[in-house]
Structures are given as C-alpha cells and as structure tokens.
Structure 1
C-alpha cells in the first residue's frame, strides 16, 4: 500500500482539517520552527500504531474528537474475510469517490482514557436495508434475504457472508452516498484485521531523541544478530544445557542421599528442579566502539546521530523483509541536526536515492535552506501557522517563490552582475571543472572558434539538479532577465536502461519540447571520459586500464589509483581531468560517425545562445 495523504483535525495545532499530500517517493516538508512539521510525522506514528495519543494531543480550542485520516493507493486487490472465500474493497463498496482507500482514526476523550474508533470513508450503498450489510452476521444476512422476499437458494454460497452481501447488492438498483463505515463494529472488524496485514511499515526517526548505543534502534538489530548467531549453534547449546543439567542433578541427588541419612522426611520433600530455561541472549551485551576503544556514547553528537540513523534504517528494512508484501515509509525529522553541512547535503541526496527503491516512501522535515533547495520541486510541502490553526500549502509557482523568500534561498549573485549571454546549469563542482577544461582544450586545438566560458559570454551555474528549488529560483531570475539557458548533465546511462537514465531521458524530452537545450553525456558520467593514457601516467606506467563507457568509474577506478595518487572517488574529475590533453579529450569523445560529442554540444550552445554574432 502507498500513502497518498494525511489529514489532521483537532490534533495539537491543527484545529481545522489540514491535508498534506504525500509524494509517491520523496516528500520534503519545510517551514519555520513550531509550524507543525513534526506534528504530521508524529500523527502518522500514532496512526500506524507505533505510539499512543493522550489528552494533551487534543487541540485546546477544539470541541470535537481528534481525527487522523490517511488515504492509500495500491491497496490489496483481495481480502479474506470469510473462511475459504475472498472479496475486495471495491466489491464491498469500501473505497472513496476517487477509488482510493480512506481510513480514519478518531480518538475521543469523553472518558478518562482515549477511545479509538477506526472507520472507512467511502461511497457506500445508501438504499434502506442495504446500507448496513457490512455489519451483519450470517444469520442476520439470511434473514435480510427473506425479509426482502428473495430466494435464499439463488445465493451462490450461503456459507459466505461476502456471497450473501453481493447477492443482496445485486437485488436492486443501488444509490450511493459518502458514508463512514465503522470497523470496530460487529463483523466489520474482520475488514480492519485483514487490512492491518497490508499497511505500510512506518519508521519515525526524531531529531530530539537521545543518541547513545543503548537506544532501541541500536540495540534491536544487535539483539537480533545475537539471536541469529545463537540459532546457528542451538544444537551445541542444547548439549551444553543437557550436560550441565545432568551434572547438577547428579550432585543434587547425592546431596539428598546424604541428607536422607540425617533427615529422611526433609530429603523426601526436596526435588531437583530446573524451573527456568537459560536465556542465552541475555548473557551478551554489545556496544559500538572505535578502533581506539571509544564507545559511541562518548563520540560527538553528529557521529552518534549518523550511526543511529543508519541503525534505524537497518531495523526498518529488517521489519520490511519480515513482511515481504508490505511497503515502508521512512519519516526523518530534521536529518541535518548535529551534522556538518557537507554531511547534510550527502544525507539528503542519499535519502532521495533511497526513496527511488520499490515500495519505499521517504518523508523529511527541514528548515535549512540548503537542504530545501536540493529537494525535488514537486516534493515540497510548506507548513505555516496562522492565528487559529496550522496550514499546509502544496507545489505551485507562488509557493516556490514564498518558500525561497522565507528560507532565504536566493539566486546566485553572479547571474545579476554578469554580462553573460547565457547560462549552463550543471549538477556539481566536478561538472564545472569538466566543462571549463573542455572549452579550453577544444579552443587551443582549434576545434571551436572561441572559449566562451573564458570570455565570460557563457556562465556555468551549479544547480544540484533540474528539479529542485535552487534551480527554480535561478531559472526564474534568468527568465525575468530574458537570458537563454541550457542544461549539461550526466546521462547516468549504465548501458542497461536503468531508472536514472530513463528519468533523465524523460527530462531531456520535456525540456527540449520547451525549446531548452538539455544535454546528456553519451557516456555514463564525466569520469567515464578519462583517457587510459592518463591512468597510465598516474601509475608510472603500471596500470593498463580501459575506462568503460557505462560502468561506475568512481567505484572501480579510484581503488586502483589510490596507491599512486590520494584522490577521493568523488574528486576523480576535479583532481585528474585538468591533466587531459586536447588530443585525449577529442579521442574519448569522438562518435562512431566521425563527429565529436563535445564539439557538437558547443555548436548547439552557440546556436541556442546566438553566440556566432559576438
């Protein structure tokens, strides 16, 4: 099942109903402190049964009950409600007007303890005598057949409640209205019991939690590891247990024999008894320490949180693997907490990547401009607090402008101050180094007429991606200035039509249709253009390495050159590309038709930006 939205009513700061739409993959929730971002994630934690609601969660000005409503897509096609028979939400008329599963949990505080009510909001038959069938037991359903003058023998299977309901629904023309079907009531309980097995696994990581190695997120996976290890040697443990038991019982029997010589009645009253089996797993306690013996709870808060976050992911993935059909929702509150800016950016990119896995959704809250700027535009949700209640806004140009102003995501200053004829958006620093050196060397070798970058007629901007807020802000400014722009991105082509490559192709098509030059490299990434001669020079002639056009060269090449040059895998292009000669650049970028890939790109750029007139 896939979460589509959550609606809060009378919950903490949300007095009036407020709906947050959840993206299929990644949802970025932004807003100022105390706007209500964490409230949404914690409400989901309550909805999925991981935590409980209390009286203090009720909005102080609200008169009604707390309501948390979730809408799901990709719900199970079939449900087993009766023994030996199946039905569906559609067949039972339990879907809402958009043909989605809408589940509402209501928490009432009229008594000392909160009472929980689960219901479905759906377009259900409203005909008299047919609007309550979902609650009736089998005998009552059979009576309803007779009461309506129908023949029970016409029912396909009188042993199945589903079959009887279906027969009754088909007995006359149905009228429908939006109704609330209580799942705590009578036979409708079976529906909720069945649905529970299919709900997504929800895993919440809060920003203000303690960060030590005794946290459940740390201990649970380690306890599981102990449990699995003990299971591997269970026969040996059983033998040890039998050996100890036999030896101890032998000692006890000899002791009692001696005791009987002195007090036979007391000896007869005593018997050896192992009242409790040994709990082997409690004998082991694991912690995490560095090579220098420093425990995790003695490390810095940023290190502790980073480790805990990944223990949290490991535990969540374990839960998902134990219920193979369930999807999973990672909800991470302010992942930037206690993290260095470089780690913050890396973490957001990793979470966006994680959200691309099947049956995986990621929800993140943040109020850090740099992180909000990296999130996909369509994923952004903005929460703010009005005088009476919290409110939620969803993607639109007005919202993007508002968020960029509120969070301080300002356009690159060079755009306004430069006299550039046009702008090239790239993903990162490596791409800037890559393009600048290409322009330089192709101009030196007379492959292109001018080095437009050196002449400052073309300006390179780092966007981090074509679909994030930072890019949008810069694009809007360029648009207002009437400046042409284009995109130069890695294709991510692995030679096997991977999802990243197909996504980039779709983006390219979209932008090209809008008249924007969106260029994708023919090879996988910039690193795939490194010439074998360069690798040989770096290794003093020891490495004869052929760079594959589609393999991940960062993973494969960096370990090979590490003994000769200290270069991190993310800096291969930054550190090595400037050593590429004109001839080498031309050779690695020549196409099968005899043309040159980068010369073609620059010619397209020249035409798009009208640079030939300069």
Structure 2
C-alpha cells in the first residue's frame, strides 16, 4: 500500500496542487519554494507531531494560503496497491482498488481556532449513499430491501439479490464498473476513531526525518523514533517480552494481594474508632469500613525493556550525545540501511520523508546513502527526499524528479515532473529515440555525471557542449565583474560533454519549464561526409527545439538568437579570429604558466589564464562580452 497522489489545497504556499508519487521521489527546487511544505502536509495527514515545528492538531491562521480563512485547508491522499487485508478492513472507503482520505482544517471566526478532522472518501454514486449509511447503522433487512428496491427502479440493471450483504456487494460492484460516472463522496464518520488511532496503522508506517532532527532522541527507543520503527519491525517480532512480563505481573499481583490482606487488621481497628465518632456526630446506626484499594494496574507497572545505544570510538565510550553531528547523522542512516534489509512478513509499508539527507555527510557517504534510499524504494517502501544534491537523482530516471516552483504574484507553488512517454513523443518529432538507462549503467550515472543533474536545481539553465565552453563563458563573467549578478539571477552553466548530448537535456528543460539558453558549435569546418551529415542533423535539431527551425543548420556566420548562440565553426576559432595573431601568444603564455604539461588546448584553467593575460594587456573579446550580456538579458526576461 503506497501513496499514489497528494492533493494540497489552501495550505501555506499551495493554492491547489495535486502531486503524483512514484516509489522513489526526489523533490528539488529553490529555498522557500515549498519542498518542506509537502512533508509538513503529510505530517498533518498522518498526525505525526514528532520532529515537526507545527502542532498537527492545532493549525493557525498563518497556515492558510495567504491567510485565506474563507476556504478550508484540505490535504487529500490517495493510496493504491492495497493488500487484500486492507481492502477488507477498509472496505467502507475502498473503491476501484483505491483508498482516498482527506484531512480538513476549518477556521472558526468566533473562537479563532482551527478544527482539524479527517474523513474517508470514496468514488461512488450519490444515490447509493443512503443504503451504505443505513447498512453501517445495522438497519433491518426489510428497510434495506426497501431502499434497494427503489434504487433498482432507477437503475434497472442492478441484479436481483435479497440479503443485506449481497445488496451491498451489488451496489459496490455497480460503482466499480462505472468509474467514469462516479463522484468523490465524503464519508460521514471520521477516519480516526475515538482512541485517535489511525485505521491506516496496520498498513502504512510514516516516518519523518527533518533536516534539524535531534538524533540524540534516536539513541533510545521510543514509539515514534526511527530506532523504535526498526525494533518494531524486527526485534519485537522475535522477542516475546509480553509473555514474560505477564508471568511476572501475575506473580507480583499475587504477592501484592497477600500483603494487602495481611495488613487489613490495621484498617479494621481504625474503622471501628471512626464509626464510633461518626455515630456521635451524624447518626447512631452509621457504618464505616476502611479497606485497602486494590488498584493493581496503577500500583504495579512493569514496562518492556528499551534498547539504548552506546558508542565506542578510539577507546572512548559514551552516549551518542557526546559525539559530533557527523556520527549522529551516520547513525541515523545506519538505521535506515538496516531497515532496508528487513523482510518482516505482514509489516506495514514504510513511507519515509527525509529533508536534506546530505547534511553532515562527505560526498562518498552521500553517494552511498542515495543508493541505499533508492534500493529501499525498490523493496516494500516508499521514499520522499527533499534535497539540494544532484546525487539523489536516480541515474537517468528523470521520472522520479519533482521540481517545486514558486509562481505568480501573489505567489503560489506548483510541481513539475516529466513522464518518459512525454520525452519519447518529443524526441520522435526529431527522429531520435530515447533509451532508458538500466542496470549498472543507471546505478553508475549519478557518480559518473552528477553535473547533468544540476540542471534540475537551477532557475535559469545555460547549456554548453563542454568544459572549454564553460571556461570561456565563466572567465568573461569574472573579468566583466558580472558573475555575482549572473548568480543572483539564478543562472547556472551545465556542460553535456558533446553537442549530440545537448538534445535530451534541452527537451527535458522545455517540458519542465526550465528557461534554457544554449551555446553550441556549428562545426561547419568539418570535411568528411559522415561528419557533415552528423553535425547538420544535430544543428538542425537544436535549432528546432529552441524554436528556430527556419534557420540554416549549416550557417555561414554565427547565429545569435534570444535563447541560443551557434558559432559558425567553434568557440575557439571564433575567439582566435577576433584576437588575431596575439591569440597564439596569449595561449603560449598560459601554457607556460602551467608548465606546458601537454593537452592544454581545451583545459579550462589554461583557457581562463589565456583570457586573463589578454585582458591585462587591454585586449578584449567583444564576442564574449556580448554573449554575457545576451545571457543576462535572457535571464531578466
């Protein structure tokens, strides 16, 4: 049983947005865009108060979207992949193999308080509601037959059945076969019972790990700690403390009762004296009897043993609180890794939301943690990660990415994501077929090329072919003192290691509505027929994707557009022609600075040094200066 979708209405930065989930979900976006609000909404839904900065049962006016208290806050979760047991126990709510639950918060203007309730929803026919409600009230068979008979007059294709259960089943079957005609119907009874225990508990287990989590609490088992989750899913299924404690309680209770009986004589003496005094002050026939109160449950309490962690490092042994944040975070991750190895039969699905899992971790640990979380999601768990690290994007699987974006004025948050079919459809338009990475290739992708995944984190994407292009552009951003402004606008340069590798990121950026400026080489200096054909095709495709399909893909001069620059041949030759005979002089000086180690032609440091030397000699590249201005103009618009 996993979450299929989450719909958030009128809550904080969300006006109305439905988010569809996968087994593994990577939420990325600018600070303040609303990533943590998604996990906060789930905390409210699951009534998870631990580690949260909000009382999930006492929402305030500030939690309403732009303080719009006229509309209710609604957090609706749709569950899918329900087990047979879940379908049976939650049958009042399950329709079409889905379970829809809504948490609703209503602002009371008279008291200034917010009432939070949770309801079950189902897809069904509004006309059938009366039967289901009476059935739950255990109405008589005759009354239910009368209701069913009237329904059959309107829906004459309902089957002829007589018993209460068969009539209920017939109505549910009728609804399931006509999903397109069903509406969402709110259940009249709250989804949480009077004991505040969720009916979802046997089937899903929500664990929230905030960025600022107090890991010290995790070193001691508690009901809601991650260690508690771990022990509940493993040790508690193997250690029968209950039977041992029950035996101890019986033994102690017997001794307790004997002790009370042995001292009853003391109370008898006091009772007689009190009775005489009461007879004097009240009535002669009054009776008073003192007895020991035998409240065994309150008097005797034996708790199950709790696990407690001690750490020993380099001869020093102590509690976790005595060690640094890195070890504390590593301990938390070790727990998660252990949970991922468990195979406990009939355990509820682990649904885990994690904020910034990369904090306090070195890059190798981050990579390993990312693999652990992805592996965990491939088993019987569902993972939601809010991160600033591209290493948590799984391989080439962009379907797992959810981009959280702030829009409009007044602002509201939206979620952008991309399906493989959408990319395939776009690539088909340019006669290219996407190939999904799989197996070891997909596993290695985040480690081999995390730079490409940086595109999902930027506000304005600048795509270039390689490191040399990056060096030319970055150098002039620095030399013209525009780098800080470039960053303030949210621009970020990503290189793809080849022109043919620009196409897929370009389409992904467009479909995810990431503004993208692309810089590439026309390569019109190529001479072999195969190379010419290849570069013509690449040029044509890039121009088409950026909306310039009428441009000549084999240009006779540089192409300058509002969202792209195409060098006639390549960037190096363009700058070489512009700087003239001095170009080789500056290049040799730069190579000498780096000891002429060889293979420095496209080395980013050598290129940067060459441009720096030219700048110091008063030689400027108008081409690169204009390129910087074009990009800044693109970012502003």
Normalised to the residue count of structure 1, the TM-score between the two structures is: 0.52
Counterpart in the other structure of 2:14: 14
Report deviation, 1:120.
2.8
Structure 2 match to 1:301 = 325
Structure 1 segment 114-125 matched on structure 2, within 5 A: 114-120=115-121, 122=123, 124-125=124-125
Indicate which of 48, 72, 96 corresponds to 2:79.
72
Structure 2: gaps of 5 or more residues: 50-55, 276-288, 427-451, 472-493, 505-637
Give secondary structure in 2 for the equivalent of 1:166.
helix
Q: CA deviation at 1:156?
A: 2.9
Note the alpha carbon deviations across 1:109-137, whole angstroms, 9 max, x for none.
Answer: 23633142525363x346xx556543344
1:384 corresponding residue in structure 2: 405
CA distance in 2, matches of 1:242, 1:186: 39
The whole-number CA distance in structure 2 between the counterparts of 1:240 and 1:362 is 46
Q: CA deviation at 1:355?
A: 1.3
Superposed, 1:145-544 pairs within 5 Å as: 145-147=148-150, 155-160=160-165, 163-164=167-168, 166=170, 177-184=181-188, 196=200, 199-212=203-216, 213=219, 216=222, 217=225, 220=228, 228=239, 230-231=241-242, 233-234=244-245, 237=248, 241=252, 245=256, 252=263, 256=266, 265=273, 269=290, 271=292, 275=296, 276-281=298-303, 286-290=308-312, 292-311=316-335, 321=344, 323-324=346-347, 326-357=348-379, 359-372=380-393, 376-387=397-408, 388-395=411-418, 402-403=455-456, 405-406=458-459, 474=496, 477=499, 479-480=501-502
Q: Against the structure 1 CA distance between its residues 135 and 187, is the aligned structure 2 distance closer, same or farther, given a 3 Å change threshold?
A: farther
In the TM superposition, what whole-angstrom CA distance separates every residue of 1:388-428 from its partner, at most 9, and x where no partner exists?
Answer: 2011110377997851645999889668799xxxxxxxxxx
Cα deviation, 1:243-286, whole Å, max 9, x if unaligned, reads: 96489569857x959x96x9985899565967445323388783
Deviations 1:274-299 (A, max 9, x none): 74453233887834232622210121
With normalisation by structure 2, the TM-score equals 0.51
CA drift of 1:75 comes to 2.8
- Give the gaps of 5 or more residues in structure 1: 419-471, 483-614
| C-alpha contact 1:106 1:116 (8 A) present in aligned 2 | yes
Number of residues of Structure 1 aligned to a counterpart in Structure 2: 401
User: Contact conserved, 2:209 with 2:354, CA < 8 A, in 1?
Assistant: yes
Cα shift at 1:74: 1.6
Give the secondary structure class of the aligned counterpart of 1:75: coil
The alpha-carbon deviation at position 66 of structure 1 amounts to 1.1
Cα distance change, pair 300–406 in 1 and its aligned pair in 2 (3 A)? farther
Deviation at 1:382, TM superposition (A): 0.8
The structural deviation recorded for 1:231 is 4.2
Structure 1 counterpart SS, 2:12: coil
Change in 2 beyond 3 A, CA 1:196/1:184: farther
Q: Is the CA contact 1:287–1:295 (under 8 Å) kept in the aligned structure 2?
A: yes
Is 2:141 the partner of 1:141? no
Distance 1:165 1:214, change over 3 A: closer
* Residues 263, 156 of structure 1: alpha-carbon distance in 2 compared, 3 angstrom cutoff: closer
Q: Is this contact kept in 2: 1:145–1:168, CA < 8 A?
A: no
Q: Is the 8 A contact 1:30 1:383 kept in 2?
A: yes
Q: Structure 1 residue 179: deviation in Å?
A: 1.8
Cα distance change on mapping 1:277 and 1:370 into 2, 3 Å: same
Q: What is the rounded CA distance, in whole Å, between the counterparts of 1:481 and 1:169 in structure 2? A: 48
Give the match's secondary structure for 2:5: strand
Q: 1:410 to 1:234 in 2, by over 3 A?
A: farther
SS of residue in 1 equivalent to 2:303: helix
C-alpha distance in 2, partners of 1:417/1:188? 56
Which digits, 9 at most, give the CA deviation of each residue in 1:48-86, with x for residues without a partner?
33342512322125331112222333234584489xxx8
Could you tell me which of 49, 58, 63 is aligned with 1:57? 63
Structure-2 separation of matches of 1:188 and 1:141? 27
CA distance in 1 between partners of 2:255 and 2:382 (Å): 51
Superposition pairs for residues 558-569 of structure 1, below 5 Å? Answer: none
Contact 2:93 2:100 in 1 (8 A): no
Give the conservation status (yes or no) of the 8 Å contact 1:2–1:72.
yes
Label 1:11 to 1:250 Cα distance change in 2 as closer, same or farther (>3 A).
closer
CA–CA separation in structure 1 for the residues paired with 2:92 and 2:236: 42
In 1, are the aligned partners of 2:29 and 2:403 still within 8 Å (CA)? yes
Structure 2 CA distance, aligned partners of 1:118 and 1:168? 19
Partners of 2:259 and 2:199 in 1: CA distance: 51
Tell me if the contact between 1:71 and 1:101 (Cα under 8 Å) persists in the aligned partners: yes
Q: CA deviation at 1:479?
A: 2.8
Change beyond 3 A, Cα 1:337–1:136: same
In structure 1, how many angstroms separate the alpha carbons of the residues matched to 2:398 and 2:468?
Answer: 21
After TM superposition, give the deviation of residue 338 of structure 1 in Å.
Answer: 2.0
1:12 CA displacement: 0.8
CA distance in 2, matches of 1:187, 1:284: 31
Superposition deviation, residue 11 in structure 1:
1.0
Corresponding residue for residue 597 of structure 1: none
Q: Could you tell me whether the CA contact under 8 Å between 1:373 and 1:409 is conserved in 2?
A: no
Q: Distance in 2 between matches of 1:195 and 1:270?
A: 43
Mapped contact 2:117–2:190 kept (Cα < 8 A): no
Q: Does 1:45 align with 2:48?
A: no
Match in the other structure for 1:107: 105
Partners of 1:205 and 1:309 within 8 A in 2:
no
Report if aligned partners of 2:221, 2:308 keep a CA contact under 8 Å in 1: no
CA distance in 1, matches of 2:202, 2:249: 38
SS at match of 2:164: coil
